[in-house]
Amino acid sequence: MPEAAVDGVRDRALELDDTDRRFMDAFALAVTEHIMDRDLDVKHLADYLAMSERTLRRRVNDVCATTPAQYIRDQRLEHARTLLRNDTYGTVAEVALAVGFAHAGHFARLYKAAHGISPKDEARLTATELDPEPETSLAPDLKMGT
């Protein structure tokens, strides 16, 4: 979820009553626990939380001002960002599959729309930050005291 959206959810969480807070905690935990499961969708979450899909959609919309499907997608993209930054997988396609996207191209488009950078560039940028190339000097190597 983009940072502004995460902040919005956090702000709403401060205003929730205990019932809504418990629901949101259970919902968020269910998504987190199953984030790498390609079959994670509204139906599976509704079954897991013992409620109808309609009730799940309504409650998530009331509490988070988003849909369960969008929340899942946002969480998948955030998890992908973590995997890319930690260089956990070798390719963008592997990261896409790991976080539940069947098609790397679709994943890359959604990732760039959410984060403003392609997943390939994110991984490359992170690799550069973690392992910068040694600086090369253009000055001649001077020996002192000869």
Domain harbouring 30, CATH code:
1.10.10.60
Residue with tokens 């002192």: 144
Q: Is 75 a member of any domain? A: yes
Q: Which residues fall within 8 angstroms of residue 59, CB to CB, at 6 or more apart?
A: 20, 23, 27, 51
Quick one: pLDDT at residue 80?
Answer: 95
- pLDDT 10s digits, 13-69: 557 788 899 999 999 999 999 998 888 999 999 999 999 999 999 999 999 899 999
Q: For residue 112, give the H/E element and its range.
A: helix 104-115
Range of the domain at 10: 3-129
Kindly state whether residue 110 falls inside one of the protein's structural domains: yes
3-class state of residue 137 by DSSP: coil
Q: Where does the pLDDT of residue 3 fall: very low under 50, low under 70, confident under 90, or very high at 90 and above?
A: low
Residue 111: inside a domain: yes
Show Cβ contacts of residue 105 under 8 Å, excluding neighbours closer than 6 positions.
Answer: none
Query: What's the pTM?
Result: 0.74
146 lies in a domain? no
pLDDT for 140: 47
Nearest to 83 by CA among 94, 69, 71: 94
Residue 62's pLDDT is 92
Looking at 66-75, 81-90, 110-119, which range is the least confident one? Answer: 81-90
- Kindly report, residue by residue over 99-124, the tens digit of the pLDDT: 999 999 999 999 999 999 999 999 88
Residues with Cβ < 8 Å from 91, sequence gap 6 or more?
none
Question: Into how many domains does the chain fold?
Answer: 1
